[in-house]
Every structure is written in structure tokens, then in C-alpha cells.
Amino acid sequence: MLADSPYSYDVFISYSTRDKAWVRGELLETLENAGLKACIDFRDFSVGAPSVIEIERLMEASRRTLVVLTPNYLASEWTKFETLLLQTDDPANETLRLLPILQTPCDIPKRLKIFTYIDFTEPDDLEFAWTRLLTALGRPPQPEPAPETPPQWFLAHPYGMPPNFTGRKAELQTLSNWLSGTQHPLFVLRALGGFGKSALTWHWITHQVNAQQWPQVVWWSFYEASADFNSFLRETLHYLTGQSPEGIGSRQQLDALLRYLEQHPVLMLMDGFERELRAYSGMDAAYQGDEPSSVQKNSEDEDRNCVNIQAETFLRGLASLPNLRGKVLMSTRLRPRPVELHGGTLLAGCYEKELTAMQPDDAVEFFGRQGIVGNRGEIEQACGNYGFHPLSLRLLAGYIAQNFEYPGDIRAADNLDVTGDLVQRRNHVLERSYENLSEIGQQLLGRMACFRSPVAYRVLEAIEAGDAENPGRAHSSAMPLRPLQANLRDLINRGLVQQDNRTQRPGQRVATFDLHPIVRRYAYGRMTGADRTTAHGQLRDYFAAVPASEKVTTLDDLTPVIELYHHMVRSGQYDEAEVLFYERINKATYYQLGAYQLQIELLRALFPQGEDQPPQLKTERDQAWTLNALANSYSLSGQPRSAVPLFEQHNSLQEKAGHKKNLAVGLVNLASMAQLHIGALEAAEGNLRRSIALCQEIEYEFQEASGHAELGRLLAYRGAWVEAERELATALELFKKGNSIQSQGIIWAFRSLAALLQVRAGEGQAAEVAVA
């Protein structure tokens, strides 16, 4: 705390030696356990020096003087001298350097009666008195450990709950009423950023949900890295059934989960579901405000579509299937489109609640629990300036608690600019909270903002030490307090950072830290371009040193390399990031895990100017590969319309370079993976015929066969049965000539499709001949 201060001590203790048992015991121990450097006579006075000189010297060297008021104190001539000495320079105590506490009832003299004191004489209010004292000294007490949760619950990503959750009684009751009811299996808790959706739901589940009535509970946060809907499906099903769903398709997993919810009383909480919507699906989602991403401009309805077709099916099932025994609570910034009918009416099984501002009484109680001194009217007025917005109030309380002039006193709020509209005022309190940090604190907050998800303490420590060569080295928990720990504690006390000590690994408890998305976005925005590049470069070096998984079986195995990719992109190393993606990510995500939405998120980062411009890569060869890879992923994730312009850019580059073979492949991809799916049959047919002609020109028979096959499928869709069969027969002969067994199977599948279409058209006899 004193690194950037002109003082040598945080507090000088002025007391009567007759009260030394309490002062040197409970008081001194509490102050020093809170990390304060206290100055006290028996230990810090220089031996042999006159007491008058030592009192004056050490009071000047201390940021505050704590006066312990008791009858013994008031009877002492020395203590009179100490208080008069302090009041000489500041008789009105405007700088609040004098901090009286009433330890024992006594008749307080007039010279001290004018000051507000902290009352330690009421046994029922001792906890509040200690909170006020430590807050006034700039060291608010650390929150109590979170309540233990039932070990059989699956809390995949525990929430780093800020201290002193207050109020929200009506909202908590609404959640409990919903849980006990039978009408709505799905509850959508919707609010903009900073209104406390995660805190409310986490408090509810840890304090009010009965484990005997709900023995199986799932908490899943989509804010976490690699916590997409496919991972949610797989891990939730594994937890519920005790059997690994590996080898089962995602649709089969979804069907199994819905069946389980029909038969069992399961409570699932999906936190931050907006990350599964198109508006917040990019790699920059951690830095977004309440507006959609600027990279991809969609209509409001498109922004609310799920990026994963299975997520959409899951929501529709929850909101429409009858007699579900399971319950699902979702928190989100936007209402997902699948839970509503045309016109915006909610499906019958869905209930929605918008979370709004705190109540004034709750805000006053919260400030009291944070140790802020002031009367009800002063606190209500200060909080009202920010619309009782929960995040803004936590930041305001942190700002007041750490204020140098009026620590812990509501008067500190008078220094804030409350002009402008509500949004401007909320931004201002965040701005002042940031600007009151030391330069080191700002740098640490900015470095943490570079992470897209919670970061472990050991990672911050290794980066702080520049230890990129050995990122996994262990650190003793018994090491003395270091600047990093002190700065982290300061950020927590100011409400800028949340801490979670629940994440478990074998044999150890892992401390992780996270930023609210609003804070992350602001802190990242305050960094200069050079600072961002430097920070991402440090993080890139750290993750580059993390050993790669020997075998990739889940997306979690790719987390370090994905973080490395993220920091490469953010540091401007687009070409290096593309090589990393190709060599270490693409095969596992595209071919092995089918994580097409993750592919989209990662590849879109290579398009900082938007997808209507080429990716920011040096060579047109790499640009073409990236365009094709992103287009394929869009198509396979159910977004063929987004794939069309990317395929077209790819084909233009191949034609410009004279690569006829690659152009022939690209034309088939454009037609079969995009245009065919959006009904652009005429354009698709033209591209397929052009591809066939190119292949005949360069004698590329395999791709020519692919062109004939796709053209045959297209013609079948159009009802041109004879032409379709001719194209499919040509393709089959070419595949036989090349001994491509798998491709021959595809032709028979297309023939079967054509036959089914003929039956549907009333031409069943012709269909029998076609597949004979």
C-alpha cells in the first residue's frame, strides 16, 4: 500500500497503556492481518529518544492517526498532547488524518466530539465497526469464504462472487417460485451488462436451492474459454448419466439430454448464454459492450439466432416439450430467438424476467456492509446518480473506500462528475476508479484485460516475473506478500476484479481472477496500441512455452494453443497466427471435433477490416486458403449465406493467380456448400458446369467427377430426372476409373435421394428403375 505514498506507516495508534491488552492484542493483530503497517509506541519508538520527539516524528510519518477513546485515554496527559498535536495542523480534520474509535463508553471532550467516531461499544455491531475501521484505513475486510456446495453438483465454472451480495429479495423469490412450479421448464433472466445476472443466480443456487430436492445441478458459464454448446452437451450428459458420450453425434447427445430432462428433476443454469448468439459469438466478445459486434453486421433478429443449430433445437425443446421434470435457468443479455414465435410471443414453456436496478434500500444496506460511512439520504443521492446500477455502485463503493482524502466516507462521492446522462455518469465512475489506480495497478488491470476469460494467479505471477520458459513452475503459498498480491487485492477492493478460489485441481486449490466484461472493455480501451502489443507479446511468449497436449480429445486440450493464437492476433502477428491455426488447430477442430463455430470465431479474427475485405495476410495464397476455410465452416454450421461471398473472394484470387485446379474445386464448393442450400440453383448450376469444363481442359478427372455428381444432385432437386441420372452415371464411371470407393458410395446416395424425390413427385415406377 505504501509503495507510492510519502508515508512510512498506514496508521499511528494513539492509546493509553492501561488499555494495552486490547490495543496490542486484538486491534494490532487485526490491522496487521489486513496488510496495514501500524506504528505503535512499544515497538516503533527509537530507544533513548525523547517521547515528545518520537510522537511528533511518527505521527508525521503515518497516513492516519487512530485515537482509541476510553476513560483511561482521556485521563492521560500524553494522549491529550498527541491529539492536540495532530489538530494543530488540521483543526477541522478536513484531511481525515484523525480517526477516533470509541472502545469503552466515556465522556468525550469537546475537541473530539465534533468528529464522527467508530463505535466499538455495541457487541451486536462489532462486525460492522471493524468493517468501517478497515475501510476507512483503505483495507476493507476480505469476504468470508463462499458456502460449501453439495459435492454431487456439477459446477463446471464456479462464479467469482464479489463480497456483500445484498437485496434482490423479490427476484430471489421469483426464482424460487419458478423452481417449485410446473408451468415453465425454461426461465430466461435477461439484462444488459452490469445488472448482476451472474451474481443473482449464483447467490440463489448456493443459498436457496435445496440439494435434497435437486440432487443433480449443473452450472455452466459460456464466458469461459472452450465452453461452447457442444462442450456443454458432452460434459453435462457425462455428469448426468455417468457415461462418456464420446463417439455419439451431437444431435444424438441432445436427444439423450432432453430425454433425461423428461425423466429426472435436474436443475441447469446456463450463465452468459449471449455468447452462443451471433451478436456475441466472435473472439472479441470479451471486449463487447451491449451492442453487437462491428465485424459482422446482421439484423437484430439475426443477432439473436444461435450459432449452433443444436443449441437452437435444445431451447425449442425446453420451451415446447410437455411434462419436462428438469428446469433450466438462462442468464443472457439478449433473448434467444428460438424461444419465441413469429411476432415475439414466447413459447408456452418459457418464462422471461428482465433484471433491473437495485432498490434504494438495498443500495444503502450494501454501502453499509461495504463499510461506507454516511446517512441514508447522502447514500441514496450518491447511488441515484448512477441509476442504482449494481456494477456502478460496487465501483463507487470501491472508489470511496480507497479514496485518499475521505476513505470510507460518502463525502468522497462529491468529487465525481454527475453531469451528463446516466450512461456518461456510469462511465465516469469507472473512469475515476481506473485513474485512481497506481501506474502499476493500471498496467496489471490492462494485462488481465488482455485475457478473454479468467486467469490463474500462477499465470500472472509467471508473466510478472518474465518466466516464459517455465510457465508451469509451482510457487509456495507461504511466500511473503509481494507487489503482485498487493495490487491484486487493491483491484479486488475497488470492485474492478473478482476472485475465485473454488477451481480445483488434484491436490491444490487454484486462485483465478476475472474482470466484468464492462471493466475488461474499458481497461483494454485505455491501453495504448504499443501497450497492447507489448502485453499480448508477453502473453504470447508465455503460452508458446506451454507444452502441447500429446493427444487432442476435447476442446480443453486446445485451450493453451487457442490462447496463443488469440495473443498472436492481438499483437498484430496475423501471418504467424494463420500458420499456427493451420498446423495445430485446424485438423482437430474441423476434421476431428467438428467444432465449426470455433473455427469461425478463430478465423474471423484474421479479418480485422470485416469479411467483405480479404484477411490481413501477406500472400494471396494464404488469403485464399483462409477464405475457403472460413466459408466451409460457415456452411457446415448452418450459415451458407455467409459462406457465399467468401467462396467468391476465394475463387477470384485463384482465377487471378491462374490456378485452374483450385478454381475448379472452389466453384464446386461455392455451388454445393452454399448456393444450393440457399436456393440459388441457377447460379449453382452455372458454377458447376464451369468447373466441369475447367477440369476437362486440365484433365482433372476426380474433380470433374465431383462436379458431375453435384450437378446430378442439383438437377434432381429441379425434377430433371433424365439429366440428373446422366450426370450421376458419368460421375460414377469416373470414380470407378480412379478406384475411388468412397466417392462411388456418394453417387449411390445421390441416386437414392433422386429416387425419393421422384416418389414424392408421383413417379415411383421411374424411381425403381433409377436405383435398380
Lookup: cell for 375: 446517512
Residue at 565: amino acid letter:
Y
The confidence score (pLDDT) of residue 122 equals: 87
Percent of the chain exceeding pLDDT 90 equals: 58
Cβ neighbours of residue 409 closer than 8 Å, sequence gap 6 or more: 96, 136, 372, 373, 374, 400, 403
pLDDT tens-place string over residues 263-300: 999 999 999 999 999 888 877 788 887 665 544 455 66
The confidence score (pLDDT) of residue 163 equals: 85
pLDDT tens-place string over residues 594-647: 888 889 999 999 999 999 999 999 999 999 999 999 999 999 988 899 999 999
More confident residue, 397 or 499: 397
Cβ neighbours of residue 142 closer than 8 Å, sequence gap 6 or more: 163
The confidence score (pLDDT) of residue 502 equals: 54
Lookup: cell for 353: 424476467
The confidence score (pLDDT) of residue 597 equals: 86
Cα angle, residue 576 at apex, residues 571 and 579 outer, rounded to 5°:
145
The confidence score (pLDDT) of residue 199 equals: 94
- Indicate whether 78 pLDDT > 80: no
The confidence score (pLDDT) of residue 542 equals: 87
pLDDT tens-place string over residues 542-595: 888 888 888 888 888 888 899 999 999 998 999 999 999 999 999 999 998 888
- State pTM to two decimals: 0.77
58/14 Cα distance (integer angstroms): 11
Q: Give yes or no for a contact between 309 and 638, defined as CB atoms under 8 angstroms apart.
A: yes
357/347 Cα distance (integer angstroms): 27
Rg (CA), the chain: 33
The confidence score (pLDDT) of residue 425 equals: 86
CA nearest to 304, candidates 318, 319, 315: 315
Name the pLDDT band for 397 (thresholds 50, 70, 90). very high
More confident residue, 424 or 355: 355
* 207 Rama class: left (phi>0) / alpha (psi -120 to 50) / beta: alpha
Tell me the residue length of the chain: 772
Residue 11's beta-bridge partner residues? 38, 64
**What strands, in cross-sheet order, belong to the sheet with 498-500?**
455-456, 512-514, 498-500
pLDDT tens-place string over residues 467-499: 434 444 434 333 334 578 888 888 988 999 988
55/38 Cα distance (integer angstroms): 14
The confidence score (pLDDT) of residue 696 equals: 96
Cβ neighbours of residue 504 closer than 8 Å, sequence gap 6 or more: 510
Cβ neighbours of residue 308 closer than 8 Å, sequence gap 6 or more: 228, 229, 230, 276, 597, 637
Task: Label the pairing between strands 154-155 and 216-221.
Answer: parallel
The confidence score (pLDDT) of residue 82 equals: 57
Name the pLDDT band for 83 (thresholds 50, 70, 90). low
- Indicate whether 756 pLDDT > 70: yes
Lookup: cell for 249: 453425434
pLDDT tens-place string over residues 725-752: 999 999 999 999 999 999 999 999 999 9
Cβ neighbours of residue 456 closer than 8 Å, sequence gap 6 or more: 503, 510, 511, 512
Cβ neighbours of residue 736 closer than 8 Å, sequence gap 6 or more: 744
CA nearest to 668, candidates 717, 718, 631: 631
767/756 Cα distance (integer angstroms): 7
Name the pLDDT band for 325 (thresholds 50, 70, 90). very high
Provide the Cα torsion 740, 741, 743, 746; round to 10°: 170
- Indicate whether 712 pLDDT > 80: yes
The confidence score (pLDDT) of residue 725 equals: 94
pLDDT tens-place string over residues 648-662: 999 999 999 999 999
pLDDT tens-place string over residues 338-386: 999 988 899 999 999 999 999 999 999 999 888 888 889 999 999 999 9
Provide the Cα torsion 149, 229, 336, 307; round to 10°: 160
Lookup: cell for 20: 494495552
CA nearest to 671, candidates 647, 703, 646, 636: 647
The confidence score (pLDDT) of residue 479 equals: 33
Element (H, E) at 377: helix 376-384
For 94, list phi and psi in degrees, rounded to 5.
-65, -30
**What is the residue-wise DSSP string for 61-127?**
TEEEEEEEE-HHHHH-HHHHHHHHHHHHH-TT-TT--EEEEE-S-----HHHHTS--EE---GGGHH
- Indicate whether 92 pLDDT > 70: no
- Indicate whether 100 pLDDT > 70: yes
pLDDT tens-place string over residues 139-149: 776 666 667 88
Segment 381-393 shows an average pLDDT of 94
